Structure 1
Amino acid sequence: MLYRQMECFLAVARLGNLSRAAEEMFLTQPTLTARLKSLEEEVGDQLFVRTSRGMRLTDAGREFMPYAERAVESFREGKRRLREMREGSGGRLVLGASPGVGTYALPGLLERFVGAYPKVSVSVRTGHSEEILAMTLTEEVQLGLTRSMRHPEIESLPLYDDELVLVVDPGHRFTHKGSAELSELAEEQLIFYDNDSSYYEQTQEMFRNAGLRELRTMEVDNIEAAKRMVEHRLGIAFLPQSAILRSVTAGNLSMVSVEDVPPMSRQMVALKRRDVPASGPVAAFLELANQMAETETREQLSPALAAEFESLQLIDLFT
């Protein structure tokens, strides 16, 4: 109500006439007069004097006027900011991302998001999946982008499936064959990364189920290191598709299909507190993520590579 009173005060101060101010404010003159009186009671001073030429500011009114102008403008700016937040065109978006998502998938998505919503301020925090879950629970981040995780206070909103694929250096014998049998992999040095990850467990289980236990291995602690080892012909590796797409298209790595091996993947999700509705920038981000078309990935590939990726059901990524 105080905001309306100050609007009336400023209108009368600018026009110097009660009837014209009431008309501009779409109010009756008695209503306008009552609001001015309430404001004067609130500030404890008379703000106007009535003259034969209309309404004139008192010394107190002139002193109060710039404060009223700032207050009204601040209120209007606050309303604009809230509207922008509701519409996703302004406000702040705070994301948490696991290393794989933050390095490979998120930059492409944020490029689109920032282009569509340039007024939104974006912050990204990184950490392992358990850390991202904790950040989401404590509302340090609005969304946590990581592998699917369960918690009673959290809902997981699907983003994409990240498949594990075999990569070798372009001069490798598997590249020329185009495929390999699982038993042949045991003859190679295998590069493993991050032995705490679900990908590591899936790969190890695959070899155990095939009865292949005596393996020559090299272990590193991150995906980029594993890629570099493969590029330098130190071994072969199963890596997430999101991590190798650009290296394959650049000709630094080759992707090889493995016969008689079921697809290995994990679902990447956006974690959100159940009791916090998705609105404003959060809703806009989720909508944009879900709208990412498969054709965008195909456009980054040569026709031959696109056919290869499609045959392996790899066109399922929003980067």
Structure 2
Amino acid sequence: MFLVNIENIEAFVYVIHCGSFNKAAEALYLSQPSVTARIQSLERDLDCKLFDRQGKQIQITDEGKRFLPYAQQLLLTYQKGKLHVNRKKSLPDEFRIGCTVSVSNYIIPELLPDLQNKFPNTHFKFVTGTTDEIVGKVLGKEVDVGFVRNVNHPNLQSVKFYEDPISLYAYENHPFVDADRVSVEQIAEQPLVFFECGALDWLRIHRLFEHLEQSPNIRIHTDNSEMAKKLVLRKAGISFLPNVCVREEVAEGKLFSLRVPETSGISLQTNVISGHGEHDPFLSAIIEIGKVLTLRQPSPAWSK
């Protein structure tokens, strides 16, 4: 008689999602030998090999590929059942939100008043961290939802919340401010304050300069958008920045967006994540508010 061990199923799905036994162990808060033991137990139950192991490299077998959709469905069904059994009330008195630093600085102050209006009896608690840290906190039930970069995870639902265009910004009286458009060659010659947050869209910014014989003049490299913005205001250089972080300075005439056609369509996507089927009233409200925030987002001056 075959008995389903959900922990073994979970380990199998995580290994495929994470790409290795070590990374799956970190995500599950287990030791690597424990994950290996769970996979071996599942292989005995199924009487087949799920992975081919070549040194430190692993590759899913044909049997593993055929079993994967059933494993994912089993895991999802279990999680939904567990949620249904353990649900005590539809709305908590305290709602815990994890978010990246940029979201806490620029989006939460606009989101929270609308959220408080919809849930006036709820207290809100916020924690900040990197995308990977927030994903871990949602998985570990340390926070209820998380605002992160675009991610996918088998144990989480991930919904697009906000898309923020990336534009090139210069300070007042910079020679580029009055230009109809700026070429990549011209940008590369200028002192650059280069902000990037690790999202894939920043690779597109890097690729702008790949065809040039000379590397761009990157004077300062930072992963903090607020620092990059203040350095531009101090005339340390020009910078590619998410529009949301410079709205006040643009409105006050302190920073100016520059027309660079090659950057059209480049943006940072923020998703909201939670466990499958969890906190649906809050998620629905957050997504609706996100649509309003997108409508409020002004376009760069040169695009009008």
Q: How many residues align?
A: 218
Tell me, yes or no, if the aligned pair for 2:97 and 2:144 is still in contact at 8 Å.
yes
2:269 aligned residue: 267
Tell me, yes or no, if the aligned pair for 1:142 and 1:282 is still in contact at 8 Å.
no
* Aligned residue among 295, 301, 304 for 1:308: 301
Change (3 A) 1:107 1:183: same
2:290 aligned residue: 289
- C-alpha RMSD over aligned residues: 2.6
Aligned-partner residue type, residue 257 of structure 1: R
Matches within 5 A, 1:30-109: 86=90, 91-109=93-111
Aligned-partner residue type, residue 125 of structure 1: V
What is the CA distance between 1:209 and its match in structure 2?
4.5
Q: Give distance in 1, aligned partners of 2:199 and 2:150.
A: 12
What is the CA distance between 1:208 and its match in structure 2?
1.6
Aligned-partner residue type, residue 185 of structure 1: I
What is the CA distance between 1:238 and its match in structure 2?
0.1
2:183 aligned residue: 181
Q: Give distance in 1, aligned partners of 2:121 and 2:214.
A: 54
Q: When the two structures are superposed, what TM-score results if normalisation uses the length of structure 1?
A: 0.61
Identity fraction in percent: 22
Greater mean deviation of Cα atoms: 203-212 or 263-272 = 203-212
Matches within 5 A, 1:209-220: 209=211, 212-220=214-222
Tell me, yes or no, if the aligned pair for 2:181 and 2:259 is still in contact at 8 Å.
yes
Greater mean deviation of Cα atoms: 215-224 or 242-251 = 215-224
Tell me whether 1:111 sits opposite 2:104 in the alignment: no
Aligned to 2:208, what secondary structure does the other structure show? helix
* Aligned residue among 215, 224, 237 for 1:235: 237
Change (3 A) 1:290 1:277: farther
Q: Give distance in 2, aligned partners of 1:252 and 1:277.
A: 43
What is the CA distance between 1:282 and its match in structure 2?
4.1
Change (3 A) 1:195 1:159: closer
What is the CA distance between 1:123 and its match in structure 2?
0.8
Tell me, yes or no, if the aligned pair for 2:183 and 2:260 is still in contact at 8 Å.
yes
Aligned-partner residue type, residue 308 of structure 1: A
1:156 aligned residue: 158
What is the CA distance between 1:210 and its match in structure 2?
5.0
Q: Give distance in 2, aligned partners of 1:288 and 1:221.
A: 27
What is the CA distance between 1:227 and its match in structure 2?
0.7
What is the CA distance between 1:211 and its match in structure 2?
5.3
Cα deviation code 1:109-151 (max 9, x no counterpart): 1122123322111111100111111111112111110111121
Q: When the two structures are superposed, what TM-score results if normalisation uses the length of structure 2?
A: 0.64
1:140 aligned residue: 142
2:247 aligned residue: 245
2:48 aligned residue: none
